[in-house]
Amino acid sequence: DPERVTTERLDADTAGIVRAAHLLGQGRLVAFGTETVYGLGADATDARAVAAVFEAKHRPGFNPLIAHFTDAEAAFAEAEPSNLARRLADVFWPGALTMVLPRRASSTVCALACAGLPTLAVRVPGGETVREMLRMVGRPVAAPSANPSGGVSPSTADHVMAGLGGRIDAILDCGPCGVGLESTVLDLAGDTPTLLRPGGISVEAIELVIGPVRRLAPAGLPASPGMLASHYAPSLPVRLDAAGAGHMEALLAFGPLPGTTRQQTLVWNLSPGGDLHEAAARLFSGLRHLDDEGRRRGLTGIAAMSIPSDGLGLAIRDRLQRAAAPRPRHLRHATG
């Protein structure tokens, strides 16, 4: 393991943003909040800095990173947009959409960041703070979600500190993430637009702009190089489409609580009123809370109620399926 460093906590004021941009420019690792989740950023043109991201997260090197930009013009200087990609950028950027496009021969992004692929994933994130920081850096910033590989993605600066504190140089505290789920990843490099990862922008909304999108394989079959079946995994096992919690289970609820719910049941309701945006924003905090508190109480699992599969529900279901998937032995008892 790399030696421990002191992780600076930076406020989202001018001094904090300047410091974050300066550190990134020096090849250091800085986590920052976007509208989706917190990312762990590094100068995407600096192979040593990018290598340090993989090391800090224990992320397999075959899983490429998303390059983040302050605007579409900067993104399209590195990756070549189709007409559909330009239309999507007009409608959804800044926002929770990542586009996989042919990487330009002139691209400055290092090969390690895109795992040697001929494509590059690009995104213009929402949030004034992060875009101001990106503008100051003036180079593409590679950023995976700021969690140890295989764990639950962070939606607050505290989550990042819990998972990566001591392993990264700084965290720019941009407050809690509004969307709470990662961006939608759409492959536009081939003939047919293909959904690689459902996320913060629904496929229905994308199809209104560009027409039919090929849906991804069911969770469990990796579509994107990084889409390992087990992901977003709390340490307690997750049971899907549960009608209610068993005696020793915590309950991840959606909508009205089942009548069988006992007074002492540990409950996190994603959205009592059944709102999918609210549920998305509360998902990762809920998994963390039920996992931490559930283990403290000696519970044996998390029962997750059924979520509809339209709109953001597709992405929520995808994350829950991955949280419930059989996982590599080394993650079974992982914490954080």
Binding-site entries: 36, 59, 63, 68, 119, 123, 143, 145, 153, 183, 197, 232
Instruction: Identify the residue whose tokens are 């068993």.
Output: 246
Question: Does 145 sit near Mg ion (CB under 5 A)?
Answer: yes
- Adjacent-strand bridge partners of 99: 122, 186
Q: What angle do CA 139, 84, 62 make, to 5 degrees?
A: 50
Going by the DSSP 8-state scheme, the letter that residue 116 receives in this structure is T
Minimum CB separation from Mg ion for residue 77, in Å? 25
Q: Which is nearer to ligand TXA, 46 or 182 (CB)?
A: 182
Binding residues for L-threonine: 36, 68, 123, 143, 183
Q: Does 184 bind Mg ion (CB under 5 A)?
A: no
> Which is nearer to Mg ion, 265 or 321 (by Cβ)?
321
Which pairing describes strands 194-197 and 238-239: parallel, antiparallel, or unpaired? unpaired
Of 81 and 301, the one with the shorter C-beta distance to ligand TXA is 81
Nearer to ligand TXA, 145 or 230 (CB): 145
Q: Which residues are registered as beta bridge partners of 187?
A: 100, 194
Decide: is 183 part of the binding site for Mg ion (CB under 5 A).
Answer: no
Helix boundaries (H) for the chain: 14-25, 47-57, 72-76, 83-92, 128-137, 157-164, 203-210, 276-296, 313-324
Q: Which residues of 235-258 are buried (b: 16+ CB within 10 A; e: fewer)?
A: bbbbebebebbeeebbbbbbbebe
Least CB distance to ligand TXA at residue 188 (A): 11
- Closest CB 225 distance from ligand TXA, rounded Å: 5
Q: Is 202 in the site for Mg ion (CB under 5 A)?
A: no
CB of 292 to ligand TXA, least distance (A): 22
